[in-house]
Amino acid sequence: MVVDIHTGKILLAALGPTDSAAPSAPAVLVAGAGLAVAPPPVRTGSDIVRAVEGVWAAIRGEHPEVPATAVSVGPITGADNARRPKNIAFFAARRWRHVRTSLPSDELFIASEALATGGAGVMEIVLHEATHGIASTRLAQAVRNGEDPRKYRETSPKGYHNRIFRQIAEEVGLTCGPCNSSNGYADTELAPGTAERWGTQIKLLDKAITAYRIEDIPPEKKRKKKGRPKVEGRCGCTPPHVVTFTPEEAASQQGLLMCRGSLSPYEFAFPDSDGDCNE
C-alpha cells in the first residue's frame, strides 16, 4: 500500500498478491520524489537456521561421529588482523547448556555475512565445521581411553589446522588448499563430486538464503609496537590452565612443567613448531 507520511492516510492499496504470513511493508509517498518502493521483509534468519539444522542432521546420518549441536547465526566475530582472523563460522564443544537437564551441548555458529557465498559456499563451511566436530568426538574418546590427546588434536591453540584436520576433511568430502604457516590446512573447498553428493541440501540452503548481512568495515587502527614474543603453554585440564613464557623459558620447561590438577605436562605452541607444512 501507499501511505501519505503527513496524514497517515492510505492512498493506494497494495498491488498484487500479499503473503498473509509476512505482510509487506507499506511504501511511502515522499513529497517531490514520487512513490518509494518498499523493500521486501527479510525472513532468512529462522529459515537458514532450520536449513542448516537439516544439513547438519544429514551429515550426521553419514558420519555418526559428528555430534549434535545448537545452531546459531549472527554477525561475524573476531578481530580484523592476521593473528585473530574473522570467524565466518566455528564449532565449539560444550558451549551451550540445556535448561532442564543442565547437560552441555556443542555449538555450530554461521556468520550471517557468510550467507553471501550461497548454498554451495555454506555447505563447504558446514562440512568444515563438521570436520572439527568429528575431531572433537575422537579426542574425547581418546581421553576416556587414556590415550595421548596430542595424537587427536586437529588444531593448535592459535588455530593452526594440522594434518589430522586435513585427513578428516578429506573423509567428509573436502580438499585442503596449500599449507601455510599461519592457518595450516584451514583453507578448504568442496572436493570433486561433493556438490553433487549434497545437491539436495545445497538447493535447500539456496532457497533459505534470501538475504545476507553486509560486512562491517572497521576503522583503521594504529599499529602497536611489537613486544617480545611469548609462548603459551596449556595443560590437559578442561578448560586448560594457561601459562606464558618467553620462547627460551618455554623451551627449558618443555616436558618438565607439570599441572597439579591433571598431572599432565604443559604443551607449548612454539611459532616454528606449530605447523607441519614441511613434514
Name the 3-class secondary structure at 111: strand
Q: What cell numbers appear for 143 in the block?
A: 581421553
Name the 3-class secondary structure at 202: helix
> Between these two residues, 103 and 29, which has the higher pLDDT value?
103
Residue 241 makes CB contacts below 8 A (sequence gap 6+) with: 234, 235, 259, 261, 266
Cβ(270)–Cβ(246) under 8 Å? no
The alpha carbons of the chain give a radius of gyration, in whole angstroms, of 24
Cβ(11)–Cβ(26) under 8 Å? no
Interhelix angle for 118-144 vs 44-62, to 10°?
50
Q: 83-95: per-residue pLDDT in tens?
A: 445 688 999 999 8
- Measured between its terminal Cα atoms, the distance across the chain in Å is 66
**Contacts from 32-35 at CB under 8 Å and sequence distance 24+?**
35/2
Tell me which of 2-11, 149-158, 210-219, 237-246 is least confident: 2-11
Give the CA diameter of the chain. Answer: 80
Average pLDDT, the chain: 79
pLDDT for the residue 252? 72
Residue found by looking up cell 564443544 in the block? 93
Task: Decide if pLDDT at 278 tops 60.
Answer: no
The letter for the amino acid at 178 is P
Q: 29-57: per-residue pLDDT in tens?
A: 444 444 455 566 655 578 899 999 999 99
Task: Decide if pLDDT at 259 tops 80.
Answer: no
> Between these two residues, 10 and 200, which has the higher pLDDT value?
200
Measured distance CA(206)–CA(193) in Å, rounded: 18
Report the predicted TM-score, pTM, of the whole model to 2 decimal places. Answer: 0.67
Helices (H), 2-117: 44-62
Residue 108 makes CB contacts below 8 A (sequence gap 6+) with: 52, 56, 69, 70, 71, 72, 89, 90, 91, 126, 129, 133
Q: Domain limits of the chain?
A: 2-36, 44-208, 231-268
- Band of the pLDDT at 186, cuts 50, 70, 90? very high
CB atoms within 10 A of CB 128: 23
